[in-house]
Structure 1
Amino acid sequence: MNELLKYLPEITELPGISGKEDKVREYIIEKIKDKVDEYHIDVMGNLIAKVSGKDSSKKIMVLAHMDEVGFMVTKVNDDGTFHISPVGGVDPRVVFSQRLLVNGEIPGVIQVKPIHLQKPEERKAKPDYSQFKVYTGLSKEEAKKKIKVGDMVTFDTKFYIEGDRAVSKAFDDRAGCALMLNLIDKIEKEGKPQYDTYFAFVVQEEVGLRGSGVAAYQIKPDVALVLEGTTAGDFPLLDEDKWATHLGNGPATFFMHSGVVLSKEIFEKIVSLAKENNIKLQFKMRTAGGTDARRLATTLDGIPSGILAVPSRYIHSPNTIIDVNDYINAYKLVELLIFEGRII
């Protein structure tokens, strides 16, 4: 497996919904603590690490969010089952009969009414979270001891790779976190980046872009680069002109998305760097959805931002697919933009 992919298996399997990113943050600290000049955790739970550059006249902020979509326990029943509500955007149709983990430890399965017991109108109706119960096999007494209202619930998915494609949960946005870990490795081996660089592993993006603005107030960067996982949409039942991105066509950059028009200067630098270095790059052609760039645009005096994202088919589901070449090409562009300071 390519050395650049080494972090993806572990970091995507870690549990960490919005507000409960602890295990992800601990993993990242272990990987970077001896490679950066300083780091701290703020009151929100953002992890901010600084690497001093050759030139301290400018500050670059590189960010990715640690949280994934998932669920929280809302009620524990007398029979040992429990109910869940989504944290972030999870279509209930992808939840049917899935395996879940409570707090990353206790396995469970979503219970649904078997199809041969459903009435015709039930089969056509969109499922609702109120219909779902999670079965763990625990007795009433065990369930009451081990499972509490507010506990984190995540998809139970193991990373695997076959050819150029990798499958896991949480590529949105552990792919971005892993890209930052790769870049910190590069800096440790080859020396300082061009400018002071702050790596912000932020929290609670999936529930309203909560962490990035808080981190930016502490850093006060001149520019920012948001690293993300983004929708692919390239499946046969959708017309090609409605695809957002396509796996294998390179990382995606954005000219705009919901709530923000991106910096024209940074957008053009990303595009020109890709052309100069023969790196595959595509534009995200659907502007629905958003990233932390929207929050940064209204933070301080407004922070000019660019976005690089790894296209992710079946995003916000237990089985998301990426093309590893898109990830590798994203890293090549990140290295040029940040290590060489080409984003400024």
Structure 2
Amino acid sequence: MLKYLKELTEIKGPSGNEDGVREFIMAKIKDKVDEVFVDRMGNLIALKKGKGGGKKILLDAHMDEVGFMVTNINEDGTLSFAPVGGVDTRVIIGKKVQVGKDMIGVIGYKAIHLQKDGYLTTPKYSDLKIDIGAKSKAEAEKVVQIGDYVAFTTQYEESGDFIIAKALDDRCGCSVLMDLIDEGVETQNDVYFAFTVQEETGLRGPAIIAEQLKADIAIAVETTTSGDDPELEKQLWSTHLGDGPAITFMHSGYVVHQEIFEKLVSIARKEGIPFQYKMRTVGGTNARRYATTGIPAGVVSVPARYIHSPVSMIHKKDYENTLKLLRKFILEE
């Protein structure tokens, strides 16, 4: 457990640029499954065959993270950029980023001393620039191109019961799937492990997986907003760190298949696995995409604070109990 999470989170992989993540996962699982392949979209799919007579169960975790892309190289050598996925500008000011393969920069904004009334206003992306230390456009063009990806550089850390890292959404889910593969659980069912692309930019990856595999059931293995942030009133919390995996009953664009939702809850209660309901219905997952192609789908998530930012946080017990719940689900389904 947690064997792969550090390396997974430190790989740079915004939507559409998941190659490094895919290569890492492929290297670790290829000799532990019965089949493994990469489709034309870039999804990595692994099959662990069952004993026969069971269902096709699909477990999905997306490889991509939120990030940015260079949209212009300015005359003063700074870089204009746009988000790849949903990122609030207020959480990125002054943060260190990697541009392209190895160029390091800082996201810059007008100093607070120069802002109106001395208050930090919420900037637009057009107000922000990445500073790579170049003195001119010509100098910057030697090392950066328009269209280069930009990713956060946060390093993985453990602090007591907590893990702090970038890209826990959804390298956490990828790690859980890899742990399940390592365990080699024997089941009647054929279990497909799908490591998908471009979830953060519109749930793109699952669209073709659904057609390829025609699974009987899909579970999106995710992270989700915790809500137990400082000073946020409790009734507004979505989930709480340390209370177990979050089981979703409904989110944006999808009401979870009732039978799957009830089965997940029933297993958790029977096995004494701590769990919680996701109490806010905002946000979406790949479950919605599978459902629109006719595959009943559910969602199990590890609660995380500060997702879609340079740093997020999970509780180790929530990860452990998510793994337990999914293990029992594929055995009993």
Query: Are residue 335 (structure 1) and residue 327 (structure 2) matched?
Result: yes
Q: Give secondary structure in 1 for the equivalent of 2:320.
A: helix
Find the counterpart in structure 1 of residue 317 from structure 2.
Answer: 325
Query: Are residue 180 (structure 1) and residue 168 (structure 2) matched?
Result: no
Q: Give secondary structure in 2 for the equivalent of 1:182.
A: helix
Deviation (angstroms), 1:134: 0.8
Give TM-score, length-normalised by structure 1.
0.93
One-letter code aligned to 1:291 = T
Once residues 171 and 251 of structure 2 are traced to their aligned partners in structure 1, the CA distance between those partners, rounded to angstroms, is 21
Once residues 170 and 9 of structure 1 are traced to their aligned partners in structure 2, the CA distance between those partners, rounded to angstroms, is 10
Deviation (angstroms), 1:151: 0.9
1:21-59 CA-to-partner distances (Å, cap 9, x unmatched) read 111001110111111111111111111111111125421
Once residues 212 and 74 of structure 1 are traced to their aligned partners in structure 2, the CA distance between those partners, rounded to angstroms, is 28
1:269-301 CA-to-partner distances (Å, cap 9, x unmatched) read 1111111111110000000111111111111xx
Find the counterpart in structure 2 of residue 107 from structure 1.
Answer: 104
Query: Are residue 304 (structure 1) and residue 301 (structure 2) matched?
Result: no
Find the counterpart in structure 1 of residue 275 from structure 2.
Answer: 281
What aligned pairs does 1:146-185 form with structure 2 within 5 A after superposition? 146-185=143-182
Query: Are residue 87 (structure 1) and residue 81 (structure 2) matched?
Result: no
One-letter code aligned to 2:308 = H
Select which of 183, 191, 216 maps to 2:210. Answer: 216
Once residues 112 and 20 of structure 1 are traced to their aligned partners in structure 2, the CA distance between those partners, rounded to angstroms, is 27
Identity percentage of aligned residues? 53
1:111-139 CA-to-partner distances (Å, cap 9, x unmatched) read 1111111122x835321110111111245
- In the alignment, structure 1 segments of 5+ residues that lack a partner are none
Once residues 328 and 237 of structure 1 are traced to their aligned partners in structure 2, the CA distance between those partners, rounded to angstroms, is 28
CA contact (8 A) 1:61 1:223 kept: yes
CA contact (8 A) 2:84 2:200 kept: yes
One-letter code aligned to 1:5 = L
CA contact (8 A) 1:15 1:104 kept: no
CA contact (8 A) 1:101 1:153 kept: yes
Find the counterpart in structure 1 of residue 43 from structure 2.
Answer: 46
Deviation (angstroms), 1:105: 2.0
One-letter code aligned to 1:223 = I
Query: Are residue 129 (structure 1) and residue 121 (structure 2) matched?
Result: no
One-letter code aligned to 1:46 = N
Q: 1:110 to 1:124 in 2, by over 3 A?
A: closer
Query: Are residue 193 (structure 1) and residue 190 (structure 2) matched?
Result: no
Deviation (angstroms), 1:104: 4.8
Tell me how many residue pairs correspond in the alignment.
Answer: 332
Once residues 236 and 57 of structure 1 are traced to their aligned partners in structure 2, the CA distance between those partners, rounded to angstroms, is 46
One-letter code aligned to 1:20 = N
One-letter code aligned to 1:333 = L
Deviation (angstroms), 1:80: 2.5
One-letter code aligned to 2:314 = I
- In the alignment, structure 2 segments of 5+ residues that lack a partner are none
Deviation (angstroms), 1:223: 0.5
Once residues 93 and 308 of structure 2 are traced to their aligned partners in structure 1, the CA distance between those partners, rounded to angstroms, is 14
Instruction: Return 107-116 or 283-292, whichever deviates more.
Output: 107-116
Once residues 104 and 265 of structure 1 are traced to their aligned partners in structure 2, the CA distance between those partners, rounded to angstroms, is 45
Give TM-score, length-normalised by structure 2.
0.97
One-letter code aligned to 1:131 = D
Find the counterpart in structure 2 of residue 118 from structure 1.
Answer: 115
Query: Are residue 74 (structure 1) and residue 71 (structure 2) matched?
Result: yes
Q: Give secondary structure in 2 for the equivalent of 1:336.
A: helix
CA contact (8 A) 2:73 2:141 kept: yes
RMSD over aligned CA atoms reads 1.3
Q: Give secondary structure in 2 for the equivalent of 1:26.
A: helix
Q: Give secondary structure in 1 for the equivalent of 2:212.
A: helix
Q: Give secondary structure in 2 for the equivalent of 1:5.
A: coil
One-letter code aligned to 1:16 = G
Once residues 164 and 25 of structure 1 are traced to their aligned partners in structure 2, the CA distance between those partners, rounded to angstroms, is 28
Deviation (angstroms), 1:266: 1.1
Query: Are residue 242 (structure 1) and residue 239 (structure 2) matched?
Result: no
1:193-236 CA-to-partner distances (Å, cap 9, x unmatched) read 33111111111111111111211111100001110010011123
One-letter code aligned to 1:72 = M
Deviation (angstroms), 1:322: 0.5
One-letter code aligned to 1:125 = T
